[in-house]
Structure 1
Amino acid sequence: MGTPHDDLFRAIFSRPEHAQALLAGFLPPDIAGAIEWNTLRLVPGTFLDEAAREQQVDLLFSVRIGGRTVLLYVLLEHKSSVDRWAALQLIGYVVQIWRRWRREHGKEDLPEVIPIVIHHGPRPWRGPTSIDELVEQTGLSPSARRRLARFRPRFRFLLVDLSRLAEAEIAARVPAPATRLVLYVMRVRLDAGFDDAKAALSRWRELMVVVGLRRPGRRFETVLWSYFFHKSKVTAD
């Protein structure tokens, strides 16, 4: 049985229009501009074990850049504290993705994988975003560090820290109204009560009207507002 985080993230961002709006808004502009967005496809499956699914949700997408397949691995983190070892965990998921690719595509070269972490915990992300930051280098001379670095995996993930983003910045990055509303709802503090929820709904009034006029569908509305009331600890009554 999925968590509210899982239900919201999968229900919304499994849809190509919302996935594209999210990814195009936060990928580096040179990469987003090179993607052939009409090739965006959701790749079925998850790479998380049972324990990880309590605090994470993942989606894998396939796109084409310059005629070649590139995979976009999106991991939603909803832990109460920042995981210092996230980069190590992510590189393990990327290896799983490549192993599955080998099984399905035989001797074809491995595709590029861009790992993206979306963090919406109660505190800003202050942990490492690369393997480099996890490797002990204390006491090494600069020359020794350079020599040893040749054998260290070059791995970094793209961090989208919703807790650091104001609604105005999200609006600038994600103009699509429905996707933007989802990201606003994901930012609601876990300890928000009635007053906070009421203020948020007041801020979003015009946006909700726009989204409603576009009729995103009952499934969209159900998972979005169920999640909002769950997170804000306010009953629908």
Structure 2
Amino acid sequence: MAHHHDHSYKLLFSHPEMVRDLLTGFVKEAWVAQLDFSTLEKVSGSYVTDELRDREDDIIWRVRWGEDWLYVYLLLEFQSSVDSFMAVRIMSYLGLLYQDLIRQKALTPSGKLPPVLPVVLYNGEERWRAAQNVSELVERIPGGLERYRPELSYLLLDEGAIVNAPDWSDETRNVAAALFRLEHNRDERDMLDVLGSLVEWLKAPEQTGLRRAFVVWIRRVLLPHRAPGMELPEFNDLQDLHEVHDMLAERIKKWPERWIEEGREEGREEGREEGERLHAEKTARNLITRTEMGDAMIAEIAGLPIDEVVRLRGEAKH
């Protein structure tokens, strides 16, 4: 992810609701049911050593596990491209974190180190294919040496795979799932539907901070990626998520109208029949390059056969 993307995610995942929904929605393991999410506490980065200080974009939380004050520390490592040696990086970060916990004497009641759940949150277009255990990256040598090969796994959350899975459902209230769905929305209507759900879920006064965090992310990440050129008013004039939803709904209605009109202008210069064809293609090209609309919707708006839209999309990729 670009640096501003990291900070936008950091802002979102600095809210306990996001971390809770991330774990309850996507970690399909029995121990999650034993966590007391009312104790979720963000660990300050001020305590870390020089070695960890440059990991300022990582987020670490802790939460009580059972009755014995056991802790689970969460490392969220945000990635937008596949890192083949991510497991080695996670092993390094985990070692540094444990060194700091030892210095703080932040041990379990039995004097042991607390468990750590390393999470890699990946939002790239390609599916993740890197090793998820560091042992897979170390050459196997028989004869006894293999028992010294390190073993450390991380939890991979591949957003694209999650939202495209057959069991995906946007009916369950989960703000982390809504974030993934927004980033991988099918089209403008899908984006507005998810935003509408967030407006409904996050309307309580105590959720103002999280609503604002979504506004920042939509402005800095979602719109530049999905709708380049669309601008929203400054933050002082745009205070809350429902305002963003209403404004986007109004502006999205006008996108096809603007691009259709551009096509008509070009058509007038080229003659009526040829112009009609040109403006239809112009409209389709604009929709292909500037939106995430599907081919069928573009064909309907532009008045072209769907196979013509498929052809134009192929040209746009080259």
TM-score tier (shorter): 0.7 to 0.9
1:54-69 matched pairs, under 5 angstroms: 57-66=57-66, 67=68, 68-69=70-71
State the AA in 2 paired with 1:157.
Answer: Y
> Does the C-alpha gap of structure 1 residues 133 and 14 become closer, same or farther in structure 2, counting only changes over 3 Å?
same
Query: Is the aligned partner of 1:129 residue 2:132?
Result: yes
Map of 2:72 onto structure 1:
70
SS of the residue 1:204 aligns to:
helix
1:155-166 matched pairs, under 5 angstroms: 155-166=152-163
CA contact (8 A) 2:163 2:180 kept: no
> Does the C-alpha gap of structure 1 residues 12 and 95 become closer, same or farther in structure 2, counting only changes over 3 Å?
same
Q: Distance in 2 between matches of 1:115 and 1:184?
A: 22
Which structure carries more strand by proportion? 1
Deviation of 1:43 (Å): 1.0
1:165-180 matched pairs, under 5 angstroms: 165-166=162-163, 171-172=168-169, 175-180=172-177
What is the aligned residue count? 214
CA deviations 1:142-178 (Å, max 9, x no partner) are xx3xx33322222111111112223566854993353
CA contact (8 A) 1:25 1:173 kept: no
CA contact (8 A) 1:71 1:112 kept: yes
1:27-66 matched pairs, under 5 angstroms: 27-45=27-45, 50=54, 57-66=57-66
Deviation of 1:11 (Å): 1.4
Query: Is the aligned partner of 1:148 residue 2:145?
Result: yes
The normalised TM-score by structure 1 is 0.78
Regions of 4+ moved over 6 Å? none
CA contact (8 A) 2:16 2:40 kept: yes
Which structure carries more helix by proportion? 2
Q: Distance in 2 between matches of 1:28 and 1:149?
A: 30
> Does the C-alpha gap of structure 1 residues 15 and 65 become closer, same or farther in structure 2, counting only changes over 3 Å?
same
Percent identity of paired positions between Structure 1 and Structure 2: 23
Superposition CA RMSD, Å: 2.8
Larger relative contact order (C-alpha < 8 A, sep ≥ 6)?
A: 1
Q: Distance in 1 between matches of 2:171 and 2:230?
A: 28
The normalised TM-score by structure 2 is 0.60
